[in-house]
Structure 1
């Protein structure tokens, strides 16, 4: 997929994974199968509302170029204020720092880090 280092990826409610530039214009889009959607959702803690939102969704059925590149508002990233952006960046930084520290400790303790941190299904 085409990406913008200042942009974001977002899985739309239609099952399409989109790459947006920093101005939230779609750079690239690909419809995901139910299995691929599940795999993406499994990267986050389980949430009943999100499970219900994507139940039965098949992004591979989205073939219209207009729908792929001009999605509904609920399939676009929301505009963040400067403060929200700073807060999100800080949360990501702290999370990644803690994760790296835990992985380093796990390695020292002889834990199979690849196995421990591989994707596991919650859905």
Structure 2
């Protein structure tokens, strides 16, 4: 590969001249409630709305990037199917001000005690 054919010059005005070294603040909150068979939670990783590139030479707001506040809700429930098998349905609900509501669903099957005995028999006993 001939790297001399790449144009890696600094001819991007906005990238090379818009380095203002600002430090945006970030504070988040969260809460998780749980017991032996379920959990639920709420989280807001960043409480402040932050704008980037708002001091460009353009007068339009089309070039301003805004980091919106994200809110997350999580939950799961462990259901005993048999003595050795458990089922865990879970969800994640995400809310952002300028985007549609997003829902992620997941399932998990958990094998209990069988794996421990298989480990003990295979690795610890001669």
TM-score range, shorter chain: under 0.3
More strand by share: 2
- Higher relative contact order (CA closer than 8 Å, sequence separation 6+): 1
What TM-score, normalized to structure 2? 0.25
* Greater C-alpha Rg: 2
